[in-house]
Amino acid sequence: MIFNIHGGHNRIVVGACGCFSEVEEDRKVKDLVISKLIALGHTVYDCTDEQATTQRENLSNIVSKCNAHKVDLDISIHFNSFNGLAHGTEAYTYDNLGSAYKAACQIVNAISELGFKNRGVKVNPSYYVLRKTTAPAILVECCFCDSAEDAGRYNAESMATAIVKGLTGQVVLASPKPAVNQNPVKKSIDEIAREVINGRWGNGESRRQALVQAGYDYGTVQAKVNQILGCVSSSPSAPSNNLLDLVRKTINGSFGNGAARRAALGSRYAEVQHQVNLNIKHQTMNNPRIY
Ligand SMILES: [Zn+2]
């Protein structure tokens, strides 16, 4: 078969954020899905956009890339977010007829076999990517990036394996990990999580790389960090700024991502992140507002 695959959003117009960053993880899953499909002999085009500076431009770039190829399916990879409590996997299609709907059902079923709640396939003809692509299209919301439960269960490799299983019925396992990851000299996850909280592993991407290089599963450590910190931080040094200002600064990256963002926003984290997510949903990231 012939597929178009892309990760949603880009690093300029970022997606959702919570326990982990959507845009960082959708690219990892996208890359793994592509390599597994190629390993099975399929033709795959990567239609991810890294250039756009607005949400609208990002969507239109993705659709232009998709429509430049004649394919059987377009696959859009995303992570969901809501209120920190919602969890599970779901997918969207333009209608409930034809190959996209059938494949989407198989994908959410395969992802739910990993333990994620199966929220089903939803029909939404208003989504730009579903509406504007010429081939049948599926938007996969792998799981919720603001759910500690989903973050604890999530792993890019198994997520990609499930998506490929849903698309093809075949399982392509991971290639062997580098020797460094087989080194058994490891501390407990609890110990490492406390070191992360104390700042000994840096932040963001450098933290992820350092943990992976030391042989730790980043998702597991980060989930433990979130569990220790609690999904709503009780930091006493809550910023006193107004909500819109905090939302703007969050979107501009002033508070970093993941646990760093939680720590920086303290008791304001939940309401600020909720507004950030609503701005992402309504595509008002460039001129944030309060909903
Ligand atoms: Zn998204």
Query: For residue 112, what is the domain's CATH number?
Result: 3.40.630.40
- pLDDT tens column, 161-192: 999 999 999 999 986 555 554 444 567 888 88
235 falls within a domain: yes
Mean pLDDT for the stretch of residues 72-85 = 96
Q: Are residues 123 and 68 part of one domain?
A: yes
Q: Are residues 152 and 31 part of one domain?
A: yes
**Stated pTM of the model:** 0.64
Report d(CA 198, CA 56) in Å as an integer: 39
DSSP 8-state secondary structure symbol assigned to residue 6: E
How many Å lie between the centroid of ligand 1 and the Cα of residue 186? 34
Q: Are residues 64 and 100 part of one domain?
A: yes
Collapsed DSSP state (helix, strand, coil) of residue 144: strand
Alpha-carbon Rg for the chain, nearest whole angstrom, is 19
How many Å lie between the centroid of ligand 1 and the Cα of residue 176? 30
Contact 259, 225 (CB under 8 A): yes
211 falls within a domain: yes
Mean pLDDT for the stretch of residues 233-244 = 54
How many Å lie between the centroid of ligand 1 and the Cα of residue 225? 24
Q: Are residues 7 and 133 part of one domain?
A: yes
Q: Are residues 161 and 19 part of one domain?
A: yes
Q: Is the pLDDT of residue 53 over 70?
A: yes
Report d(CA 131, CA 200) in Å as an integer: 46
Q: Are residues 205 and 131 part of one domain?
A: no
Helix, strand, coil content of the chain in percent (nearest 5): 45, 15, 40
Contact 76, 138 (CB under 8 A): yes
Range of the domain at 267: 181-281
15 falls within a domain: yes
Mean pLDDT for the stretch of residues 105-123 = 98
Per-residue model confidence (pLDDT) at position 239: 42
Q: Where are the beta strands (DSSP E) in 81-117?
A: 89-93
Q: Are residues 189 and 163 part of one domain?
A: no
10 falls within a domain: yes
How many Å lie between the centroid of ligand 1 and the Cα of residue 191? 33
Report d(CA 218, CA 185) in Å as an integer: 16
290 falls within a domain: no
Indicate the angle between helix axes 204-213 and 218-229, nearest 10 degrees.
120
Number of structural domains (the chain) is 2
